[in-house]
Structure 1
Amino acid sequence: MPEQNSLLIFRDKINDIDEKIVKLLSKRKILAFKIAKSKIENNKSVRDTEREKKLLQKLINIGKDNYLTAEYITKIFELIIEDSVSTQMELLQEFYYNKKLNFAFFSFLGPKGSYSHIAVCEYAKKKFKTYFMKACSTFEETLCSVENNESDYAILPIENTCSGYIDETLQLLIKTNLFIVGEIKISINHCLLAVKKVQLCEIKTIYSHPQPFKQCSNFIKKFSNWKIKYTKSTADAMKKILQYNDITKAALGSEIGKKIYNLHILHTNLANQKNNTTRFIVLHRKPLENAENQLSKTTLILSIKKKSDTLNNILFMLKNKIISIKKINIKYSVISEDIFYLDIQDNLSSILIKNILKTAQKHCNFIKILGSYPSEI
C-alpha cells in the first residue's frame, strides 16, 4: 500500500508540472502574437534563423547542465519554434489580406545570399508592393512550405546554361501538386570568396552547392589539391567559411555574399561559359489563367510507354513550338516507361495544345500539366 501511495504522489507531481508547461506554452504563444504585431509595424521578416540557432544552442547547453540530451531538447523546441513561426505567419497574412494590399510570401533555398534569394528579390519586386521571404534548407522543404500554406510562392532553379537541367527539381515536379505560374532568369556570377585576401595557393578546402562545382569545373580542375566540400546552398557555404574563420577555406558563392557575410572576393566570373544564366520557376497552389493572345509557355510531364511512337508524333505536331525537352531519369521507375519534361511555346488554351493533349492521353501512362505561364525569352 505504501508503494501505491508513492506512485500516486509522483503522478500528481508530474500532472502538476504538465499543467504548468501547458500554461507557459500558452503565455509563449501570446508573446508570439505580440512579436508578429511588432514585425508588421516595423516591416520585419517573420523568421530569423540565426536567432533560432543561437536560442536552440543555448537551450541545449542548459539541458546538458540538467541531464537532458541535446536530441531531446532539439525535438521539443524545434516543434515549439515552428508553431511560433506558423502563428506569426497566420497573423501577418490575415493583416495583409484584410488590408487588401499587393503582397506575397515566398519560400526559397536559403539562407540569404543564395541565388534563389536573389531570384526571389528580383521577381517579387516586379510583381508585388510588399513581400516576405522564408529561407528553407532544401528544395523539398521549399515546396512543402507552399503546399502547407505557409508561403504563397516557391522559387526553384530549373535550368542552367552551363550544367543543364537540375535533376532534383525535375524529380520534385513529378510529385508536387503545385503549378508553375512564372519564371525568371538570373545572370550568375560565381565568385571565390574567403575571410581574407589570400593567394589561391593558400586555399586547401572549397565549399559550395554541387551545381556551382559543375558550372565552374574548368576553373576547379586547375587546383587538384583543393578538397571539395558540398553544402546545401551557396549561401550555406559562405556562412561556413565565415564561421570557420580559416584563411585556407573558401566558398563558391554570389557576389552579394561579399556584403551579406563581409567576405573578400578572390576571383569572379568562374563559370565555364561567360554568359552563365539560371532559369528559376515560380510555383503556386493554383494554376495561372493566361489570356489567349499572351506570349506563354506551357510545361508538361509525360510518361510514355517504351517502343511507342507517341513522343515522335507529339514533336511532329509541335514542329517549331517546342522549346526544350528533357528525359527524366527516375530512381526505382517502372522499366516499361520513359518520362519526359517538355517546355512548349504556346498557351494551354490554344487549339494546338488541346489537340496534342487529346492525342497524348490515348498513348501515355500519365500526363501532368505543370502550368501555362508568361514566358521570359
Structure 2
Amino acid sequence: MTKPTLTLDEIRKSVSRIDKEILALLTERRELSIEVAKSKIQTEKPVRDPVREQALLEKLVKAGKEHGLDAPYIISIFHSIIEDSVLIQQAFLQQLTNPDSSHPVARVSFLGPKGSYSYLAAKHFFTKKQTSLAELPCQNFKEVVEVVENGTADYGVLPIENTSSGSINDVYDQLQHTRLSIVGEITQPIEHCILTAVDTDLESIDCLYSHPQPYQQCSDYLRSLGNVKQEYCSSTAEAMKKVAEMKSANVAAIGNASSAALYGLKPLKANIANQQENHTRFILVARNPVDVTDLIPAKTTFIMSTAQEAGSLVECLLVFRNHGINMTKLESRPVMGNPWEEMFYVDVEGNMRSDKMKLALEELTALTRYIKVLGCYPIENVTPTEIDVD
C-alpha cells in the first residue's frame, strides 16, 4: 500500500515547524558564542581561529555529504553562521572594554532623509549591535559631522569609499578638520535601480534624479539611455522623494529598491551599476575614541603631512613594512590654503595597543611634519575561511 500524499497545507506546516526549530537552534548557538567569548577573556585567545574554522567547515561538509547536501550549500550557510558568531563575540568584548560607550538607543546622524544608503548602513550597523536607532537625517556631510560635535547625535555615519567610484573626497576633507574619532566601520552592498512612481517604460524616461555618486557608479548604463537629463540631489532618498511627489511617467530616481518602498516607488530596471560587486565602506564617528581589545582584529586610521622633499613619503611607508604592518588604504587630499601641499590619509591593520603600532607611530612622528590618529576601531569585515572542496 502506498503512503498517502501530503496536502500542500500539511507540507507547509511541516516546513514551518522545521523553520522554528532552526531558529531556536540558531538562538542557542548565539548564546554559546557569548560563552566562547567569555572563555577567551580567560585564555587571552583571539576571537578568530582560522585553523579551527577550517577544520569545522571540512567536518561539516563531510557530514553534509552523508545527508545528500552539497558542499557549496553547507559552506554558504556556515560562513554566515561563523560571521555572526565572530561579530557577536566582538561586540560583547568591545562592550566590556568600553562600558561607558554602550547606549540602549543611539542617536545617529546620516546623509538623509530616511531610505538613503547612509541610513541603510546605520540601520545595519546598529541592528548587529542590538541597539535601537534614533534617526537624525542631515542635508550634507558637514552637518553629519557638526551634529555629533555639538552633542545632538552620539554617532555619525559617513561613506568613505566605493568599489566602483572610488574615494568620497568630501568626507576625507571633513575628517581633516574634525575633532571626532572613527569608532567603527561597515561595508554595505549598493544595489542601484531605476525607480519610478507610475507604470512607464525606459524609453519614456527623459530625466533622472539622484546623488552624484550613483551617477558615477552607473555611468556605463546611463550612457546607453542616450540623452537623459541628470538632476542632482543631496541624497538618493531625496531623489526618491522628489520622484514620488512628481508622479510623472518621464522621470525616475536612482536608488535602492528596498528603500523605494518607503516612497511608494517600484523598480523599473535593477542592477545598473558598472560593477556587479558594488559596495560602499562607511565609517562611524563619535566624540570619544574607543579602546579595542587585543582579542579582535583592529584597524587604525591617521592623517599625516610629509616634508616636501623627494622620497619623504616612501620613507614613511617603509616604516609599515619594517614593522610588519599591512597598509590597506592611502589617499591624498590637498591642504586648504597651502597650495601644492597634500595631506595623506592612511588605513593600516593594527591595534594602537600593540607595541609595533606604538613604535611605528613614534618613527612616523619623527619623519612627518604633522600626524594625527583619527581612530582605532574593530574590523567588522569578516573574511570567510576558505577550504578545498573535492
Counterpart position of 1:112: 114
Counterpart position of 2:281: 279
Counterpart position of 1:349: 353
Counterpart position of 1:371: 375
Corresponding position: 1:310 with 2:312: yes
Q: Which runs of 5+ in 1 are unaligned?
A: 1-99
1:197·1:265 contact (CA, 8 Å) conserved in 2?
no
How many Å separate the matches in 2 of 1:109 and 1:146?
Answer: 13
How far the C-alpha of 1:342 sits from its partner, in A, is: 0.5
How many Å separate the matches in 1 of 2:301 and 2:257?
Answer: 32
How many Å separate the matches in 1 of 2:236 and 2:132?
Answer: 26
How many Å separate the matches in 2 of 1:193 and 1:230?
Answer: 15
How many Å separate the matches in 1 of 2:199 and 2:247?
Answer: 12
What is the root-mean-square deviation in Å for CA atoms of aligned residues? 1.5
1:180·1:287 contact (CA, 8 Å) conserved in 2?
yes
Pick which of 347-356 and 160-169 moved more. Answer: 347-356
Q: 1:141-290 maps to which residues of 2 (within 5 A)?
A: 141-290=143-292
How far the C-alpha of 1:316 sits from its partner, in A, is: 1.8
SS of the residue 2:257 aligns to: coil
Counterpart position of 2:129: 127
SS of the residue 1:157 aligns to: strand
2:319·2:363 contact (CA, 8 Å) conserved in 1?
no
SS of the residue 1:318 aligns to: helix
How many Å separate the matches in 2 of 1:128 and 1:163?
Answer: 31
Distance 1:164 1:262, change over 3 A: same
Q: Which runs of 5+ in 2 are unaligned?
A: 1-101, 382-390
Distance 1:168 1:102, change over 3 A: same
How many Å separate the matches in 2 of 1:145 and 1:258?
Answer: 27
How far the C-alpha of 1:281 sits from its partner, in A, is: 0.2
1:305·1:338 contact (CA, 8 Å) conserved in 2?
no
Q: How many residues align?
A: 277
2:319·2:364 contact (CA, 8 Å) conserved in 1?
no
How many Å separate the matches in 1 of 2:338 and 2:191?
Answer: 36
Corresponding position: 1:328 with 2:345: no
Counterpart position of 1:139: 141
Offset from partner CA, 1:85-122 (integer Å, 9 cap, x none): xxxxxxxxxxxxxxx96221111110011000101111
How far the C-alpha of 1:360 sits from its partner, in A, is: 1.8
Distance 1:263 1:290, change over 3 A: same
How many Å separate the matches in 2 of 1:258 and 1:321?
Answer: 39
Offset from partner CA, 1:181-218 (integer Å, 9 cap, x none): 00011010001001122111111110110000000000
How far the C-alpha of 1:313 sits from its partner, in A, is: 2.2
1:104·1:128 contact (CA, 8 Å) conserved in 2?
no
SS of the residue 2:292 aligns to: coil
**What amino acid sits opposite 1:172 in the alignment?**
Q
TM-score by length of 2: 0.68
SS of the residue 1:131 aligns to: strand
1:193·1:263 contact (CA, 8 Å) conserved in 2?
yes
Counterpart position of 1:87: none
SS of the residue 1:107 aligns to: strand
Corresponding position: 1:340 with 2:332: no
How many Å separate the matches in 2 of 1:247 and 1:372?
Answer: 49
How far the C-alpha of 1:352 sits from its partner, in A, is: 2.0
SS of the residue 1:224 aligns to: coil
Where relative contact order (Cα < 8 A, 6+ residues apart) is larger, the structure is 2
Distance 1:220 1:254, change over 3 A: same
Offset from partner CA, 1:254-279 (integer Å, 9 cap, x none): 11233100012111111111110001
How far the C-alpha of 1:224 sits from its partner, in A, is: 2.5
How far the C-alpha of 1:176 sits from its partner, in A, is: 0.7
How many Å separate the matches in 2 of 1:297 and 1:135?
Answer: 27
The alignment-based identity, stated in percent, is 37
How far the C-alpha of 1:334 sits from its partner, in A, is: 3.8
How far the C-alpha of 1:326 sits from its partner, in A, is: 1.0
How far the C-alpha of 1:243 sits from its partner, in A, is: 1.4
